[in-house]
Amino acid sequence: MLNLIIIKYLLDITYYNKYRSYIKINKEEKELNNLYSVLDSLISSYKRTISLDEFKLTVLSSFPEYDSFLETISSANIQPDVLQESVRKVVERQMAYECALVAIAVSEGRRELPSLLETLDKFEKRETVEPTAFITDNLEELYNETLHDRGLRWRLDSLNKSLGSLRRGDFGFIFARPETGKTTFLASEVTHFAEQTEQPILWFNNEEGGAKVKVRIYQGALGVDLPSLYSDREKSYNRYMQVTKGNIKLYDSATVSKQQIERIVKEMKPACILFDQIDKIKGFNADREDLRLGSIYIWARELAKEYCPVIGICQSDVSGEGKRWLTMDNVANAKTSKQAEADWILGIGATHEDGMEHVRYLHLSKNKLSGDEDSDPTMRHGKIEVLIKPDIARYADFN
C-alpha cells in the first residue's frame, strides 16, 4: 500500500529524481509494476512534474481496470512530514538490503571489499527527504540573511569594507605566486574567524608540513614571533586556547580525498572550511585538467551551500610573477572553469622592488557577495595595499 501511495509523491520530478531509484517493486506485484512503468515513461518523455490527472488518464488508457488503484492514490491525504518520513524508511530499508547483498558477496569471495565500502559510502551520502527549498518572499528576512546579520568578519578591515562577511553559501578562492604569503594570510584571518564562532573551522592542508602550518596558526592567533611563542610554551598554549577556543582543526594529508573530506565535514559541521591547496584534492577525474579542476570547484561550491563558507587556495601562474595586481587571467591551470564557480576571487600580488618586501597587493577581481551594512560599494573590486608581517604571521591595513 505504501509504494502505491508514494506514486502521488513521485509525480513531482524533484522527488522522482532523488528517490525513484530506491523504490523497488517485487515482480509478483504486477499492477504496481505497471503503475510505476507508466510513471517512469511519463517522466522520461516529458521531463517535468506530472499532474495527477495526467497520470490517471495515461494509466486508464492502457489499464482501464485500474480504477480502484487510482482512487487509492487520489484519495490519499497524508501530511507532508508523515509522507517524507515514510519515504525515508523505504529508502533506508532498500539501502540496507543492497548493503547486505554486497556484504554476503564479499564474504563468499564473489566481490572485493572496496565494493562494500562504495555501497556504504553511497548509503551515508543519500539525500535527506525534504521539501523543495523555496526562498522566502519576506523582504525583512532577506535583508537579515544577506546584509544585516553578519557572518565571519575579516581581521583586515579593508576586506570587511570590500567583501564583507562570509556566510553559508559563499565560496571563493585566494591565489598568488609561491612564497608570497598565502599561508600567513590564512593564519592571520582564520584565527580571527575562530574568535567569532563556537563551531570548528576545518583547515585541510596538503601543501606544507602540518606542524609548520600549526605554528603559523599559533603566531597568527597571538601576534607573536617565534622566540616569544616558545619562551613560555604553557602560557602561549593557554592564550591560544583562550583566543581560538581550540576551534581550528588542521587536517594534514598530502592525499586527502573528496570522500574523506565529506565524511569529516558531515561529522563536524564546521563554521568555515579551508583547502590549501584546493587543486590537489583527490577523487576527481576528467579528460582535461581544466575540467577536472572545474569539477573540484563545483563540488566546493556545493559544500558551501550545504554547510558553511568555503575558501580555497591555489597558485598564480608565471604571468603573475612580480605583478602587483593579479587578475583572473593569472590563475594557474584554468580557462574559465575555476573562476566561474567562485563568488569571490582574491589575488595577492607582490613586486621584487627594493624596499617593498613587506607590501602585498590585494585585488578583488571577482566579488558577488552581498557585503555588510558597513561595506563600501566603491571598494567592491578594490585594489588594496596591505602590510605582511611574516615574523608574527599577520597581515595589517596601512591605516
| pLDDT score at 292 | 86
- pLDDT confidence band for 124 (50 / 70 / 90): low
Q: Tell me phi and psi for residue 130, to 5 degrees.
A: -150, 155
- Is-contact 361 384, C-beta < 8 A? yes
**Cell 610573477 identifies what position?**
321
- Mean pLDDT, residues 53-70: 90
- Is-contact 265 191, C-beta < 8 A? no
Half-sphere exposure of 184 (CA within 13 A, CB side): 22
Whole-number Cα distances in Å, 239 to 173, 219, 230, 242, 394: 30, 11, 13, 5, 17
> Does residue 79 surpass a pLDDT of 70?
no
| pLDDT score at 347 | 96
- Mean pLDDT, residues 46-63: 90
| pLDDT score at 333 | 79
The contacts of residue 80 (CB under 8 Å, 6+ apart) are: 131
> Does residue 82 surpass a pLDDT of 90?
no
| pLDDT score at 290 | 79
- pLDDT confidence band for 131 (50 / 70 / 90): very low
Percent of the chain at pLDDT exceeding 90? 56
Provide the whole-model pTM: 0.68
- pLDDT confidence band for 134 (50 / 70 / 90): low
- Give the length of the chain: 399
> Does residue 7 surpass a pLDDT of 70?
yes
The highest-confidence range among 2-6, 327-331, 385-389, by mean pLDDT, is: 385-389
- The sign of the torsion formed by the CA atoms of 94, 96, 97, 102 equals positive
Q: Which of 11, 38, 12 is nearest to 25 (CA)?
A: 38
> Does residue 77 surpass a pLDDT of 80?
no
In whole angstroms, what is the distance from residue 368 CA to residue 395 CA?
A: 24
**Cell 510505476 identifies what position?**
36
Residue, of 16 and 120, whose pLDDT is higher: 16
The alpha carbon of 188 is separated from its chain's Cα centroid by a whole number of angstroms, namely: 23
> Does residue 127 surpass a pLDDT of 50?
no
Half-sphere exposure of 210 (CA within 13 A, CB side): 11
Percent of the chain at pLDDT exceeding 70? 91
- Is-contact 200 247, C-beta < 8 A? yes
- Mean pLDDT, residues 295-302: 92
- Mean pLDDT, residues 204-227: 94
In whole angstroms, what is the distance from residue 159 CA to residue 127 CA?
A: 36
| pLDDT score at 130 | 46
- Mean pLDDT, residues 318-329: 94
Q: What is the dihedral of CA 288, 368, 262, 198, to 10 degrees?
A: 150
| pLDDT score at 116 | 78
- Mean pLDDT, residues 329-345: 85
Q: Tell me phi and psi for residue 107, to 5 degrees.
A: -65, -30
- pLDDT confidence band for 132 (50 / 70 / 90): very low
Neighbours of 82 (CB within 10 A): 9
> Does residue 133 surpass a pLDDT of 60?
no
- Is-contact 349 328, C-beta < 8 A? no
In whole angstroms, what is the distance from residue 279 CA to residue 295 CA?
A: 10
The contacts of residue 32 (CB under 8 Å, 6+ apart) are: 3, 4, 25, 26
Q: Which of 379, 398, 371, 376 is nearest to 387 (CA)?
A: 398
